[in-house]
Structure 1
Amino acid sequence: MATLTIQLLWQGVCYIFRRYNSTAAQENGENTQHSEAPQQADMEPLVRVNVDCIFSVEEEEDYTSGPAKMIIANDGSKKCAALLLSFELSTKIQNALTGQRKLRGLELRIEQQRTEIFHNDQKAFGFVIRTRNQLARLKKKATGDSVEPTDEQKQHMQELQDRINEAEDRRSTLRIEDESLAEQLRLAVQNQRMLQHEVDVILDDVYVNCQLLEPQTTPLPSQQFEFLAIPEAYQHQSNADVGSSINIEPNFAQRGSTDERNPIVQQASFDLEKCRGNLARAQRDFNANRESYGRELQSYLAAHVNSPHIDLQAEFDLIHLQKGQKLTRQLLEAEQAYENVKVVARAVGVPHGYFQESNFGDHPDDGYKGSQEIGGATLIDRKRIESWLESSGQITQHDWSRKPEIDDWSVDSGKLFDSVSVIAQGSDRKRIDRWRDEIGHY
């Protein structure tokens, strides 16, 4: 049963006593001498109770018997909203928090183990390359004189081949361990999402019932981007019918409900940011690997000074190639994961970044149509405006001149050079062309 500390009980008793004396004084009309103490007590500032509810043993009777809900409570200083916990919600919150703690520790531990496996695999791979080169040289030496290899040479070659097979078996075991750790982490993340989802479902009902959230409607599986404020008649206009003046309506780019307090929207936003970060890190590692070849090669040669330079060069190239293949695979997986979460984000109405962030790539399924750009930026009916201008009579004359003032342009015809003028059109352009014809430049 939940128990409160002595301080909480004492503050509660004092508060009830002050309120009781104040009410009694007003009802019985006590004289000023007897009512001064209660009035002074009422003037004392109320403070928030800072004592937590402490559980010795958690039992189902400690919570409300119905579902969790918002209620009005008093914290010692004022009335305020409070979440009335149910035993089910408390249990699910504890499970989610405990699972999150375990997941953080598991992620760190698995990352360390996979890093160690990667280094061990690189060492085994380097050993295989060196041993194969040694075996190839031995075979070439043994068969160079067209003589059958001796028993000692055959035994040595067999030992080298056994070492290669043993190293390959060790690499296979390391790959299996790495895949097992990756699968273990994936299942842990999936389980944690399920635990958190169970909490979100209950809290979603609580906030909907107290009208802090709108009821959740079933999201569409996928929809293309569209400017909802553009009238239907304007959405199919050609570019010639769209004016050049800008008159954008306030809500012209709204796309459905993007209530950030919605659990589904929050999860989609979280997944989007996580995958965007993973993609940025994968791209950074991929670029760094391409740019660090020379530096890493020199470090590798310096660490193996006793081995032939040619063998080390070939060995390092294979190691670098394998590392590049791994980073390429990680980059492709990160790109695919980001594309997948963008589909979900569009379905629930979460914006997934500006089009410029995609390096201006044209993706057919990104929900973006270049032809809609003009229609979204300019909502003016050009034909209607031109008709109005024609029917409005004489256009108001302005003070500025219609023809800009242009300085006379001259050139020394004795110097032959290509003219590059800022005036590309009009009569001045013709003057330049005539001069180029006279001097023989085309």
Structure 2
Amino acid sequence: MSDSLFADASKRLEKALKYVSISEDAIARLKYPKASLTVSIPVRMDDGSLQIFQGYRVRYDNTRGPAKGGVRYHPKVSLDEVQSLAFWMTFKCAVLDLPFGGGKGGITLNPKELSKLELERLSRGYIDAIADFIGPDVDILAPDVYTNSMIMGWMMDQYCIIRRHISLAVVTGKPLSIGGSVGREEATATGAFFVIESIMPKFKRLPNETTVAVQGFGNAGAVLAELLSQAGYKVVAISDSQGGIYAKKGLNIPSIRQYKASSKGIKAVYCEGSVCNIVEHEVLTNQELLALDVDILIPAALENQITEENVYDVKAKYIFEVANGPITSAADNILAARGIYVVPDILVNAGGVTVSYFEWLQNRSGLYWKLEEVNQRLKAKMVEETERIWSISQELDISMRTAAYVHALNRLGESLDAGGTRDYYINSI
């Protein structure tokens, strides 16, 4: 267990406990997940064969409200990973002061190997298996790695079929036509952009003087790269699972997104209408991207990308974690010793769950907001909590990551202690 992702994630909690005054009862409860479920999902494939897929759902904590968390489809999904993600989600919701606990789910597979019909059968089968474990007041699902609004729509529909009533709020990140919220698809990137815009002025960094590399050109990474480019930052490198590209003069992100949408690949291109011209660029690996001499590095792919093995290659001055857990705890300590400033995932990528909360509210009220209102509410939340965590880090002279956990622990501890503590019962005898 010592080399598990969850064991490594828990080390961040231990460091923050030195700076908070919460009960031993609360600490004990936060060290273990509330409930874990492992299921087998039989799926009839297009060729008539039957395949069995392994699925998971973890509710880590629900003290502050129903569990909330995404569902990812990936070959490396495991119970250890899902439990770690649910742990992070618990603290993420507390950081943003959302009325949710932390949950997460996943299925072990390579979704690129399945047809759309097979993916639909798999998604509905997953809900068949976990329907008694979830609900709009129990545990709410959302998209994550290799899941999207259509898959969320299938899951919501299947839950409604099982329950025999409409329950839009059981899933967030749905298509707009069946209860989704405007701004949800871009929310992780938009929230991260607000954090970056709040932090960089504190170091007197101007956008047009700041270079950026983004590892991961999926939904969050691609949208964030474009937002930063529009704001004047020089995005010089991006990558996806196949590798990346680098151009010292900067990349035209909209044209690259257009090219990827049509070809499923990445290339430095400039597109006007349907005509695309190749721009001079270097091809590089994901590891080479992490080692680029840039001002800002944005890991927006998967966990454990920066480890003890490659941490000394990192040259960026600032790291904003858009992925969950992209830096191991050991590498984190080395980065801090080297003076590299890291802004943690439980703050940076919290825009997704925040707008999921907005969608849940809209589903339950039947009142839907315009994009401007969603983004205004999101910005207010992200900026407010960024400023609070910055103040804690400065006051206690600790890293932004430890400050974020301190901030979350104070809120979680208060909620956990509201049910009674050892001291309460001893003093009442």
The normalised TM-score by structure 2 is 0.18
Report 1 or 2 for greater relative contact order, CA contacts < 8 Å, sequence distance ≥ 6: 2
Q: If each structure's strand is expressed as a fraction of its own residues, which one has the higher value?
A: 2
Decide which structure has the larger Cα Rg and report it: 1
Q: If each structure's helix is expressed as a fraction of its own residues, which one has the higher value?
A: 1
